[in-house]
Amino acid sequence: MVNFCTLFDSNYLSRGLVMYESLIQNSSEFHLYILAFDNQCLQFLRQANYEHVTVISLEEFEDEELLRVKTKRSIAEYCWTCTPSLILHCLDKYQLPSCTYIDADLVFYDDPKILIEEDPGCSVIITEHRYTREYDVSATHGIYCVQFMYFRNNLQGMEVLTWWRARCLEWCYAYLENGKFGDQKYLDDWTSRFRGVHVMRHEGGGVAPWNVQQYEFRKENQKIYLHLAGARTWHPLIFFHYHGLKFYSNKKISLTGTMYEIETGVKELLFIPYVKSLIKMGQEVKQRGAAFDPNGARRPAPGNLNIFVQFLKERLLLLFSGKVSVFQPGKFSFKKHYHYYSNHRL
């Protein structure tokens, strides 16, 4: 049995459920613990009563230390703050031998057990961002990504987890300060600070908009494979992190914003099927009586000027992010970048 935990609110409900479906399709035996981050999400999940799922309310999860910092942080910052506490809550309350935190906007294409069994003797597994060089902000935003993190319920695993929780309670904000950023800069020195920490090696784990440019893909017998450009060995894609995808109220979609360039072939192979799944799931959720948009579409898509301003902000972030060895700003094209905000023929 592989135990997972995640957290999301009603705006991310369709993403969380698509991720859950991908586990059903690819994980032989699992259980998913979901922290519902608002009442609408909580009520829907409890009424739906999904198999292999335990729903956790904020009321039963939050302790005095979390409540003490909650009002001082944005919703996103508080989500980050809660991540180590959620893993600890699941390990303690449900007496689990291990638990793997996963972001709600992941999709699994093969059995995640492959990643967990990569180093059977480890107590903690973390994943690198593996940035494409022109997008490398590891110096400021972290070497590792809080997207797929395994913790064993033993002395080594609990030492790392309780240390991380304490740091996030002390400071966890969406800006840079004294070498910290959110919850994930804390991970930078874990391999030297703690024993039993394993960095995932499998190329099929942790594929995301910030590193997908490095890979070539192929689909064979309903499975997706990838390898680094120029390499010979193909590896199964285990999961993709659809970070930054947004729906807008005027029926437009942003795949990654203006930060990352995604090739047409990757859009057709990965992004468009994912968008279709989110739209279908959103429709199913509404058919079950939900009075909210489970895809989180609130505002209309930005116009050309706002897109261009955002593009400049993001490129300047890359330029001034610290120890970035390569800065390739590329060429801005309204046609190219506005495509991310245009209607897709689904």
SS3 state at 220? strand
Structure-token match 């506490």, residue found: 85
CATH superfamily of 2-199: Spore Coat Polysaccharide Biosynthesis Protein SpsA; Chain A (3.90.550.10)
C-alpha span between 226 and 217 (Å, rounded): 4
For the chain, how many residues are written? 346
Amino acid at position 203, single letter: E
**pLDDT for residue 251:** 76
Helices then strands (H, E): number in the chain?
A: 13, 14
Chain segment 65-119, per-residue pLDDT in tens: 999 999 999 999 999 999 999 999 999 999 999 999 999 999 999 999 999 999 9
**pLDDT for residue 320:** 57
- Structure tokens that stand for 273 in this block: 């099927």
Chain segment 88-98, per-residue pLDDT in tens: 999 999 999 99
- Structure tokens that stand for 111 in this block: 């059995």
- pLDDT, averaged across the chain: 89
C-alpha span between 258 and 63 (Å, rounded): 39
Instruction: Confirm if 114 and 302 have CB atoms less than 8 A apart.
Output: no
| Closest to 242 in 3D by CA, of 198, 269, 274 | 274
**Domain positions in the chain:** 2-199
Chain segment 229-286, per-residue pLDDT in tens: 888 899 999 999 999 998 887 778 888 875 788 999 999 999 999 999 999 999 999 9
C-alpha span between 234 and 150 (Å, rounded): 25
Residue 159 has pLDDT above 90, yes or no: yes
Q: Is 196 left (phi over 0), alpha (psi -120 to 50) or beta?
A: left
Residue 331 has pLDDT above 90, yes or no: no
